[in-house]
Amino acid sequence: MEYLKLNKSRHAVKHFDGSRIATVDVKQIISTAVLAPSAHNLQPWFFAIVDSNEKRQLLIDEVEQGNASQLEQAGAIIVVFSDTAISERSREIAQKMGSEMSPEMLQRYNKIYPERFSQYSPSYTSDYLALNAGIITMNLVLAINDMGYKSNIILGFHKTDHVNEALGVPLRYRPEIIITLGRSEEKGEPHLNLPADMMFKIV
C-alpha cells in the first residue's frame, strides 16, 4: 500500500467483532514492524502476544476500566516492552550478529556503547526507551493496517511488574504500550491534523 494512503487510512478503532486473528498473522506484523529504526540500532524491544484467554483476563485486570471491553473483543493483543538492560542488549547484539560486523562495529557494541549506556541517568535511560517504544509502536499500527486489520494504542494501564508476572515476561523488560487489533466494521474518526507549516521552520 502507498505510504501516504496507509497513513491516512489508519484510525484508532476501539470496538472489534471478537473473531480471533491467527498468531501467524500477528508474528508477520511484528516481523514487519521490527524493521523500524532505533537509536544505536539497539532495537530495545520485546513483545508479548497475548494468546490464551487466561493471560488475556490477567491483562484486563491491569488496564483502566474503560479499556477492558476492547481487550475482550480484540482479535489479538500485543504488549510492547522496552529492554531496560541496554548495555547487556548491546553485547548480546554483538554476540548474535558479530560475524556480520566489521571489527570497528563489533568494538562499538561490545565496549563503546555499553560504557556509554552505563553513564546514562535513570531518567535519561527512561526517555531513551520511551522514544524507541514510540517508534516501534508506530510501525506496528501501520503494519497492522497494511494487513487489513484495525487497531488501537492503549497507554492506560498499570505499568508495573504485575504485567510481567501475569504474562511471564522477565523483569528486565518494562511494559510500555498495549496494542489491540482485530476486525471491525468501524472506520474510526479521521485525524484532525494541524497544518504542516505550523510544525516546522526553515532556518
Q: Helix/strand/coil (H, E, C) string of 88-111?
A: HHHHHHHHHHHHHCCHHHHHHHHH
Q: Give 32-91 pLDDT, tens digit per residue.
A: 999 999 999 999 999 999 999 999 999 999 999 889 999 999 999 999 999 999 999 999
Q: 191 vs 76, which has greater pLDDT?
A: 76
Rounded-to-integer distance, Cα 81 and Cα 169, Å: 9
Residue 175 lies in a domain: yes
Residue 18 lies in a domain: yes
Alpha helices in the chain (DSSP H): 3-9, 23-33, 53-60, 68-73, 86-97, 103-107, 113-117, 122-146, 161-167
Residue 116 lies in a domain: no
Rounded-to-integer distance, Cα 43 and Cα 34, Å: 8
Q: Which long-range contacts link 195-198 to residues 24+ away (Cβ below 8 Å)?
A: none
Q: How many domains does the chain have?
A: 1
Q: What CATH number does residue 177 fall under?
A: 3.40.109.10
Residue 157 lies in a domain: yes
| Per-residue pLDDT band at 1 (split at 50, 70, 90) | low
Residue 55 lies in a domain: yes
Instruction: Copy the grid coordinates of residue 140.
Output: 506496528
6 near 142, Cβ under 8 Å? yes
Kindly give, in sequence order, each residue whose CB lies less than 8 Å from that of residue 151, ignoring residues fewer than 6 positions away: 10, 12, 13, 140, 141, 144, 145, 179, 180, 181, 182
Residue 103 lies in a domain: no
Separation of first and last alpha carbons in the chain: 34
Q: Give 155-184 pLDDT, tens digit per residue.
A: 999 999 999 999 999 999 999 999 999 999
